[in-house]
Protein backbone atom coordinates (compact mmCIF):
# COMPACT_ATOMS: atom_id res chain seq x y z
CA UNK A 1 0.00 0.00 0.00
CA UNK A 2 1.24 3.47 -0.87
CA UNK A 3 1.91 5.52 2.27
CA UNK A 4 -0.09 8.70 2.86
CA UNK A 5 3.10 10.36 4.11
CA UNK A 6 4.79 9.69 0.76
CA UNK A 7 1.92 11.40 -1.09
CA UNK A 8 2.12 14.35 1.30
CA UNK A 9 5.84 14.78 0.58
CA UNK A 10 5.20 14.66 -3.18
CA UNK A 11 2.40 17.24 -2.95
CA UNK A 12 4.54 19.53 -0.77
CA UNK A 13 7.29 19.45 -3.44
CA UNK A 14 5.11 21.19 -6.04
CA UNK A 15 2.78 23.40 -4.02
CA UNK A 16 3.24 27.16 -4.07
CA UNK A 17 3.41 29.10 -0.79
CA UNK A 18 -0.27 30.11 -0.78
CA UNK A 19 -1.47 26.52 -1.35
CA UNK A 20 -2.29 24.05 1.40
CA UNK A 21 -3.34 20.43 1.78
CA UNK A 22 -6.89 19.92 3.02
CA UNK A 23 -6.90 16.11 3.04
CA UNK A 24 -5.09 13.09 1.66
CA UNK A 25 -6.58 9.62 1.72
CA UNK A 26 -5.22 6.34 0.43
CA UNK A 27 -7.97 3.74 0.27
CA UNK A 28 -8.18 0.11 -0.69
CA UNK A 29 -6.51 -0.75 -3.96
CA UNK A 30 -4.31 2.36 -3.61
CA UNK A 31 -7.14 4.73 -4.44
CA UNK A 32 -5.49 8.09 -3.73
CA UNK A 33 -7.51 11.26 -3.16
CA UNK A 34 -5.77 14.60 -2.64
CA UNK A 35 -7.71 17.75 -1.71
CA UNK A 36 -5.74 20.98 -2.05
CA UNK A 37 -6.71 24.62 -1.82
CA UNK A 38 -5.11 28.04 -1.75
CA UNK A 39 -5.87 31.37 -0.18
CA UNK A 40 -6.94 32.72 -3.59
CA UNK A 41 -8.59 29.53 -4.87
CA UNK A 42 -7.00 26.75 -6.87
CA UNK A 43 -7.08 26.29 -10.63
CA UNK A 44 -7.56 23.13 -12.65
CA UNK A 45 -4.04 23.65 -14.02
CA UNK A 46 -2.57 23.60 -10.52
CA UNK A 47 -4.43 20.36 -9.76
CA UNK A 48 -3.12 18.86 -13.00
CA UNK A 49 0.45 19.90 -12.10
CA UNK A 50 0.20 18.18 -8.70
CA UNK A 51 -1.39 15.09 -10.27
CA UNK A 52 1.33 14.78 -12.91
CA UNK A 53 4.07 15.15 -10.29
CA UNK A 54 2.57 12.38 -8.15
CA UNK A 55 2.04 10.10 -11.17
CA UNK A 56 5.59 10.72 -12.39
CA UNK A 57 7.04 9.93 -8.98
CA UNK A 58 5.20 6.65 -8.39
CA UNK A 59 5.81 3.45 -10.36
CA UNK A 60 2.64 1.70 -11.56
CA UNK A 61 4.76 -1.36 -12.41
CA UNK A 62 5.62 -1.78 -8.72
CA UNK A 63 2.26 -0.76 -7.27
CA UNK A 64 -0.81 0.23 -9.29
CA UNK A 65 -2.96 3.14 -8.09
CA UNK A 66 -5.77 5.49 -9.01
CA UNK A 67 -5.37 9.20 -8.36
CA UNK A 68 -7.73 12.14 -7.96
CA UNK A 69 -6.47 15.64 -7.18
CA UNK A 70 -9.06 18.37 -6.67
CA UNK A 71 -10.16 21.31 -4.60
CA UNK A 72 -12.59 20.59 -1.76
CA UNK A 73 -15.38 22.67 -3.31
CA UNK A 74 -18.24 24.30 -1.43
CA UNK A 75 -20.18 21.15 -0.59
CA UNK A 76 -17.55 19.54 1.64
CA UNK A 77 -17.09 20.55 5.30
CA UNK A 78 -14.23 22.80 6.32
CA UNK A 79 -11.35 20.68 7.65
CA UNK A 80 -8.28 22.83 8.28
CA UNK A 81 -7.70 26.24 9.89
CA UNK A 82 -6.64 27.90 6.63
CA UNK A 83 -10.06 27.08 5.15
CA UNK A 84 -11.73 28.84 8.08
CA UNK A 85 -9.44 31.86 7.68
CA UNK A 86 -10.11 31.97 3.94
CA UNK A 87 -13.88 32.00 4.54
CA UNK A 88 -14.14 34.69 7.24
CA UNK A 89 -17.14 36.88 6.45
CA UNK A 90 -19.10 34.07 4.76
CA UNK A 91 -22.22 32.39 6.08
CA UNK A 92 -21.65 28.89 7.44
CA UNK A 93 -23.71 26.20 9.10
CA UNK A 94 -22.05 24.61 12.11
CA UNK A 95 -23.26 21.26 13.46
CA UNK A 96 -21.92 20.20 16.84
CA UNK A 97 -21.20 16.60 17.81
CA UNK A 98 -24.30 16.78 20.02
CA UNK A 99 -26.42 17.64 16.95
CA UNK A 100 -27.03 21.36 17.56
CA UNK A 101 -27.10 23.48 14.39
CA UNK A 102 -26.24 27.15 14.11
CA UNK A 103 -26.09 29.28 10.98
CA UNK A 104 -24.15 32.49 11.09
CA UNK A 105 -21.33 34.59 9.73
CA UNK A 106 -17.84 33.27 10.35
CA UNK A 107 -16.22 36.21 12.17
CA UNK A 108 -12.83 34.85 13.21
CA UNK A 109 -10.78 31.69 13.56
CA UNK A 110 -7.59 30.64 15.31
CA UNK A 111 -5.92 27.41 16.40
CA UNK A 112 -8.40 27.04 19.28
CA UNK A 113 -11.63 27.42 17.29
CA UNK A 114 -13.87 29.96 15.57
CA UNK A 115 -16.49 32.60 16.26
CA UNK A 116 -19.95 32.72 14.65
CA UNK A 117 -22.17 35.81 14.61
CA UNK A 118 -25.92 35.36 14.11
CA UNK A 119 -29.29 37.03 14.63
CA UNK A 120 -31.21 35.68 17.63
CA UNK A 121 -34.95 36.21 17.93
CA UNK A 122 -36.41 37.15 21.29
CA UNK A 123 -38.94 39.33 23.05
CA UNK A 124 -38.47 42.66 24.78
CA UNK A 125 -41.51 44.23 26.47
CA UNK A 126 -43.73 41.79 24.58
CA UNK A 127 -42.33 42.79 21.17
CA UNK A 128 -40.44 40.48 18.86
CA UNK A 129 -36.86 41.66 18.36
CA UNK A 130 -33.71 40.38 16.73
CA UNK A 131 -30.33 40.97 18.25
CA UNK A 132 -26.87 40.08 17.07
CA UNK A 133 -25.16 37.43 19.17
CA UNK A 134 -21.94 35.52 18.82
CA UNK A 135 -20.77 32.10 19.91
CA UNK A 136 -17.25 30.73 20.06
CA UNK A 137 -16.74 27.06 19.28
CA UNK A 138 -13.70 24.83 19.62
CA UNK A 139 -12.94 22.60 16.65
CA UNK A 140 -13.31 19.58 18.96
CA UNK A 141 -17.02 20.43 19.44
CA UNK A 142 -17.79 20.28 15.73
CA UNK A 143 -19.17 17.48 13.63
CA UNK A 144 -19.25 19.61 10.45
CA UNK A 145 -18.95 23.24 9.38
CA UNK A 146 -20.08 23.95 5.82
CA UNK A 147 -20.31 27.07 3.69
CA UNK A 148 -23.92 28.09 3.07
CA UNK A 149 -24.39 28.45 -0.66
CA UNK A 150 -26.48 31.52 -1.48
CA UNK A 151 -27.95 32.31 -4.88
CA UNK A 152 -28.82 35.97 -4.18
Q: What is the pLDDT of residue 32?
A: 97
139 and 85 both lie in a single domain? yes
109 and 60 both lie in a single domain? no
Q: What is the residue range of 103's domain?
A: 81-147
Residue 76 lies in a domain: no
What values do phi and psi take at 83, rounded to 5? -70, -40
Domain C-terminal end among 70, 95, 119: 70
64 and 21 both lie in a single domain? yes
Residue 152 lies in a domain: no
Please report, for residues 24, 137, 147, the alpha-carbon distance to residue 91 in angstroms, rounded to integers and kept in the order given. 26, 15, 6
116 and 141 both lie in a single domain? yes
Instruction: Assign residue 100 the CATH number of its domain.
Output: 2.30.30.100
Q: What is the pLDDT of residue 57?
A: 95
pTM of model > 0.85: yes
58 and 8 both lie in a single domain? yes
Q: How far apart (Å, rounded) are the C-alpha atoms in residues 25 and 27? A: 6
Query: Count of domains in the chain?
Result: 2
**Which residues of the chain, if any, have pLDDT below 70?**
none
16 and 58 both lie in a single domain? yes
56 and 88 both lie in a single domain? no
Residue 133 lies in a domain: yes
Q: What is the pLDDT of residue 126?
A: 81
58 and 93 both lie in a single domain? no
Amino acid sequence: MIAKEKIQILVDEVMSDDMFIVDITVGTGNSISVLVDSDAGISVGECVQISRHIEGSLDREVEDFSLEVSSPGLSLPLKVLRQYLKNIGREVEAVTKSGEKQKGILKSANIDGFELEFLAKGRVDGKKVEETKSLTYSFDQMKTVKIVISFN
